[in-house]
Structure 1
């Protein structure tokens, strides 16, 4: 596997303020440890371990559930990865979550088609076990047409073509890494990212067919906020949160930015991407931060499909090159562009049109 290293032939000008798209190392300096944590070199990887793993006896936990809880939580028991269930077991037995499950059951009983398929609702947990999370990308509503949603935010399985927001994500990736090429056949399958530690999490985990946002405010928001909070609290060595659009930004408002990296931008939907998303630099910034925190072997390969492998390793600033004047007393969020609460609605309209076109093509083929 060949690798391409980004050369840095000139030292940064310490008199200039860092630009939004400048190297994340020059913007933040070395990652800061929480009070009381042992010091570590930014090039040697963090010395402080994550919070101790929870001891979890799944069989014993299931045996302790009430008959009603067992009846409503079969999907979670069978398909939510145990590494996540250990952290979320108390949340899913709350009255609020049980009410959410009752609502979903009523949808199915009334004849409503719900996406993603039942077995894919928690696929994010199986593709990205808790201990593997390096980066969190927050989505909103699952895709609501046939053969689109499969439990990973922004991702679609073949032969469904890449949706508009994901196409814009590819453009931003290409600006960060010129070697990146979109996968062949208009593919939008992001399972390689998930399996490399990118948690692709939607705010709502289900949706009624052809009815965007139809399962909002039914209880999923509380559950997925718990997922975000657990990552922020238990993955103490630090992860990167990518929050695109106003709703996603609100979800990470309480994340400790001294421990984690929080990057914000407008949503990549066609309605807002031109207001700063294409040049946000988040994919490269994520890897630069991970390289400083853990070493170059722990950065994310953003390559997809059969395209030429996207280079993981980069030349990062050596420790002695990190200027004291480049460091900030507190680690701020990086915000690019202006947010729009209705960004995802534009995406939904486009996806609806894609679905209608697919139906028309299917009728013609028959």
Structure 2
């Protein structure tokens, strides 16, 4: 059963759009991630605690990989998906270290909202639920979180296409190519997004993100 996070339940999406999506997904046994993880990103961070938003596209279409957080995988997944591997390469370049696994839940615990624009996918078919209506949730989340200063990381054209839903404000906006193997060398590598976010937070006397988080991982 899919649990709607109470802190976000007031968004119009959950009454206007989600019932139709839920009906479409009901009974399907080839949908990822499992239903109880579908809203994991929103369950992990309340609106008041969001400091950074990283916008992904859709969940990994390989069973056992995704944990409901954009770009993140379960801790036992090796090798890493190629986009996440490139994110770790940029972390190494930017901060001289990487996390011990691809599970990014320690980012979420610090107020990093790892949101995909589609929260489900058919196993083995990337992008298969891109037109189910999930994007309306992403639009509303961007509008809500931008009511106060927030750092936004928009990798690739898909994420950047939702930029217009970020309201005006004292935000940090990082836009580069996607970390996928097809585009990472066209602006993602060398962009140093992690130190940029931390510099922005420090300038506002806010605690930086511990992107490596090895003390929180086994």
TM-score exceeds 0.5 = yes
- Alpha-carbon contact 1:182-1:307 (below 8 Å) kept: no
Rg larger in structure: 1
Shift of 1:256: 3.7
Q: Which runs of 5+ in 2 are unaligned?
A: none
- Cα deviation, 1:74-115, whole Å, max 9, x if unaligned, reads 73xxx2222222x32x32111x3322222112x61xxx4110
> d(CA) in 2 for partners of 1:255 and 1:146?
32
> d(CA) in 2 for partners of 1:243 and 1:200?
11
Match of 1:137, SS state, is: strand
One of 9, 20, 25 as aligned partner of 1:104: 25
In 2 relative to 1, CA 121–307 (structure 1 residues): closer, same or farther, beyond 3 Å? closer
> d(CA) in 1 for partners of 2:77 and 2:40?
18
- Alpha-carbon contact 1:141-1:203 (below 8 Å) kept: yes
The corresponding residue for 1:12 is none
TM-score (norm 2): 0.92
> d(CA) in 1 for partners of 2:214 and 2:48?
25
The corresponding residue for 1:164 is 82
RMSD: 1.9
In 2 relative to 1, CA 225–256 (structure 1 residues): closer, same or farther, beyond 3 Å? closer
> d(CA) in 2 for partners of 1:91 and 1:181?
36
- Cα deviation, 1:142-171, whole Å, max 9, x if unaligned, reads 001110122100001032122111111111
In 2 relative to 1, CA 254–121 (structure 1 residues): closer, same or farther, beyond 3 Å? closer
Matching of residues 236-315 of structure 1 within 5 Å = 236=148, 238-256=149-167, 258-293=169-204, 295-296=205-206, 298-305=207-214
Match of 2:161, SS state, is: helix
- Alpha-carbon contact 1:181-1:307 (below 8 Å) kept: no
- Cα deviation, 1:112-145, whole Å, max 9, x if unaligned, reads 4110011000111222122111100000010011
> d(CA) in 1 for partners of 2:109 and 2:216?
17
- Alpha-carbon contact 2:99-2:211 (below 8 Å) kept: no
> d(CA) in 2 for partners of 1:280 and 1:82?
36
- Cα deviation, 1:250-294, whole Å, max 9, x if unaligned, reads 11234245421111000001111111211112111111111112x
In 2 relative to 1, CA 276–121 (structure 1 residues): closer, same or farther, beyond 3 Å? same
One of 130, 151, 173 as aligned partner of 2:91: 173
TM-score (norm 1): 0.56
Is 1:141 aligned to residue 67 of structure 2? Answer: no
The corresponding residue for 1:188 is 102
Q: Which runs of 5+ in 1 are unaligned?
A: 1-73, 309-366
Match of 1:242, SS state, is: strand
Instruction: Name the one with the larger strand percent.
Output: 2
The corresponding residue for 2:133 is 219
